[in-house]
Structure 1
Amino acid sequence: MKNQLIFLFSFLFFFAQAQLQENTWYKVSKITDGDTFYVMTKNSEKFKIRLIGIDAPESYNVGKKFRKEYFGKEAKVFATNLLKNKKVKLTFDVQKTDRYGRILAYAYLENGVFLNQYLVENGFAVVATFPPNVKFVEVFTKAEKSARNKKLGLWK
Structure 2
Amino acid sequence: MRRLAFGLVVVLVVAAGCSGFTGSPSGSAGTAVDDQSAVGVPESAVTVSVTAVVDGDTIQVAYENGTGDTVRLVGVDTPEVHTENDPAEFEGVPETDAGASCLRGAGTNSSSLAKQQLLGETVGLAFDPNLNRRGYYDRLLAYVVVDETLFNYRLVETGRARVYDSKFTRAERFYAAEDAARSDRRGLWRCTNPDAVTHTAIADGGTITESPSGVEIATIHADAAGNDNENLNDEYVTLTNTGNATLALSGWTVSDAAGHQYTFANSTLDPNASVTLYTGSGTDTDTERYWGRNGAVWNNDGDTVIVRDASGETVLRQSY
Report the TM-score when normalising by structure 2. 0.38
For the 8 Å contact 1:50–1:102, the answer to whether it is kept is yes
The one-letter code matched in structure 1 to 2:141 is: L
CA-to-aligned-CA distance 1:104-151 (integer Å, 9 cap, x gap): 001110x111111000001110011223xx211011101111211222
Distance 1:88 1:144 in 2: 24
Alignment of 1:47 onto 2:69: yes
**Identity score, percent:** 32
Distance 1:99 1:154 in 2: 25
Q: How does 1:118-129 map to 2 (within 5 A)?
A: 118-129=154-165
Q: Could you tell me which residue of structure 1 aligns to residue 82 of structure 2?
A: 60
The one-letter code matched in structure 1 to 2:52 is: K
Alignment of 1:84 onto 2:84: no
The one-letter code matched in structure 1 to 2:69 is: F
The structural deviation recorded for 1:99 is 2.2
CA-to-aligned-CA distance 1:13-70 (integer Å, 9 cap, x gap): xxxxxxxxx5222110000001000110112211000011110111112xxxxx3551
Distance 2:71 2:151 in 1: 12
Distance 1:58 1:99 in 2: 17
Alignment of 1:37 onto 2:54: no
Q: List gaps (5 residues or longer) in structure 1.
A: 1-21, 62-66
The one-letter code matched in structure 2 to 1:151 is: R
Deviating 4+ runs (over 3 angstroms): none
The structural deviation recorded for 1:92 is 1.0
Select 2:150's aligned residue among 114, 124, 141: 114
For the 8 Å contact 1:106–1:115, the answer to whether it is kept is yes
Q: Could you tell me which residue of structure 2 aligns to residue 102 of structure 1?
A: 139
SS at match of 1:85: coil
CA-to-aligned-CA distance 1:81-119 (integer Å, 9 cap, x gap): 11122121111123111121100001110x111111000
Report the TM-score when normalising by structure 1. 0.76
Q: Could you tell me which residue of structure 1 aligns to residue 264 of structure 2?
A: none
SS at match of 2:54: strand
Distance 2:58 2:186 in 1: 21
SS at match of 1:30: strand
For the 8 Å contact 1:52–1:129, the answer to whether it is kept is no
Q: Cα RMSD over matched residues?
A: 1.4
For the 8 Å contact 1:30–1:37, the answer to whether it is kept is yes
Distance 1:129 1:107 in 2: 18
Distance 2:179 2:164 in 1: 13
Q: Which deviates further from its counterpart, 24-33 or 70-79? A: 70-79
The one-letter code matched in structure 2 to 1:81 is: Q
Q: Could you tell me which residue of structure 1 aligns to residue 189 of structure 2?
A: 155
- Kindly name which structure, 1 or 2, has the bigger radius of gyration based on alpha carbons: 2
The one-letter code matched in structure 1 to 2:179 is: K
For the 8 Å contact 1:34–1:56, the answer to whether it is kept is yes
Distance 2:186 2:125 in 1: 26
